[in-house]
Amino acid sequence: MGIRLLIASLIIVGLAAVGVAKQDELLQWIDPAREPQFTPAQPGQAEQPGTEQAGARSDAAQQDDHGGQNPSAGGAEADDAASPAEPEPPTADEGEVVTVSNVQDVMVVVNKRRELPADYVPPDLVAPDIPFSFSGDAPKKLMRAEAAKALEQLFAAAAAEQIELAGVSGYRSYARQQEIFNWNAQQQGLEEANKTSAIPGQSEHQTGLAMDVSSPSVGYALVEEFGETKEGKWLAEHAPRYGFIIRYPKGKEAITGYSYEPWHLRYVGVKAAQEISEAGLTLEEYLGLAGNEGSKTKG
């Protein structure tokens, strides 16, 4: 006991010469019941190496949305990418959202006020025989049979006039749309995502009647500049002859609820397409449906 007290006295005398960081260690040796004190990590301190970011995903996974389409990044691989954590989707800005019942009608209207059932899958999906901006099989190559046949005729007419077009994104399931919306919400926040991608059930792609189209002149991207190219202008002029309309025309955002998309073709049949185009109407106006003021999402 006397020896231990002597050693303790010597240590206390020498504390002034010992770094502060060592004091607790030495005193713990004297009193084993004493716990060493640790300095907590400070806010902003780097995480341990090897930590992965949740939901990390390549840009190719966003190919079904607008802009930046990379034809080599298309394909089924991007569609099979893991989906990020699911946020709670926002509700419609104003008014009541109804579930449409005429899902098989080629004139069906789908937007932020009118949505498809979550389990709806068109029964007659086929892949049109047209060039695509990506290789391999993927559900987004599909369209309903009537629309697919009409699209083949449209592309044949374009090729005959040396207009090079390519399909980018057709049918999209409810689940796939959920993945896309979740990804955008994770990256941009819910409010911003609601301006650039459709909430599941509110995308025209689920009808099987829509196809996003682009060209090499814009790198197969889905961008507004496509409307100013010779291919985009040709498409807007000739699409109605084959039953297609530019679904979201410029200057009609307050009516459709969707921003201008010169790449988004929607099949409605030849008669309706020509009448809509000649009158400069939207599908909502043609059918006498209320607009979607305040909505800016895409379909």
- Residues designated as active site: 261
Query: If you write DSSP's letter for every residue of 192-208 in order, what string do you get?
Result: HHHHHSPPTT--GGGGT
Q: Where are the beta strands (DSSP E) in the chain?
A: 98-99, 114-115, 125-126, 143-144, 166-169, 210-214, 244-248, 261-267
Q: Which of 258, 88, 284, 69 is nearest to 166 (CA)?
A: 69
Cβ contacts of residue 118 below 8 Å, gap of 6+? 174, 200, 201
Q: Where are the beta strands (DSSP E) in 35-188?
A: 98-99, 114-115, 125-126, 143-144, 166-169
In order of 35, 186, 293, the CA distances from 52 in angstroms are 34, 16, 41
